[in-house]
Amino acid sequence: MKRFIGGWLMALFLLSGVTHAAFEEGRHYMSLPFPATVETGNRIEVREFFWYGCPHCYVLEPGLANWMKKMPANAQFVRTPGTATKWMIHGQAYYTFEALGALDKLHGAFFKAVQEKPGAYSDEQAIAAFAANHGVDVKKFGEVFNSFGVRLKLERAKQLNQDLNISSVPSLVVDGKYLTSAAMAGGEEAMLKLLDHLISKAAKERPKQPRKK
């Protein structure tokens, strides 16, 4: 009986090792040649590049939300809009929602609205009407939408997209240096497991902080 239990535990151990060994650099993820500086301090940054009009991004949302509830404590999740020319208006909307303090209320609802009516929210007026239907003052929305702060964040997003060579969404970058996606990883479930693996890998590669005396 002890031999059986020992063999079973050994099999589980080997299976666990195979799971991590199955993630291959260059196949399931790639190391970026020019890593980006992270904005999350001591925490490992997990950055999603997305677009409200992308059906794959929308499908990923529930799984990503569940993963965030139990993601490693040393990680922090951030979003960055994709900045292809026709996507910029939605990136501007995202940063406007954020600046208004209404991201939690509007992000999911806007995602759903865009998916249900493709092309219907492609200008400021349509997006402002959507926000107004969700309790946002139209005048305030317009001021923030066209503010210097929102445009600055949009430029920063554009630079990040260029620096990290983001050519499709959804794409995820771990700690500014490891790029992956559901397509690369072999599906959504595999990608979420890979994120945990890359967070652990990135944490081990971070310079050790000096101990306080």
Rounded mean pLDDT of the chain?
91
Sign of CA dihedral 153, 155, 159, 164: positive
pTM of the model as a whole:
0.87
**Domains annotated on the chain, with CATH:** 24-204 (3.40.30.10)
Task: Using pLDDT thresholds of 50, 70 and 90, give the confidence band for residue 211.
Answer: low
Are 92 and 141 contacting, i.e. CB atoms less than 8 angstroms apart?
no
pLDDT in tens, 92-143: 999 999 999 999 999 999 999 999 999 999 999 999 999 999 999 999 999 9
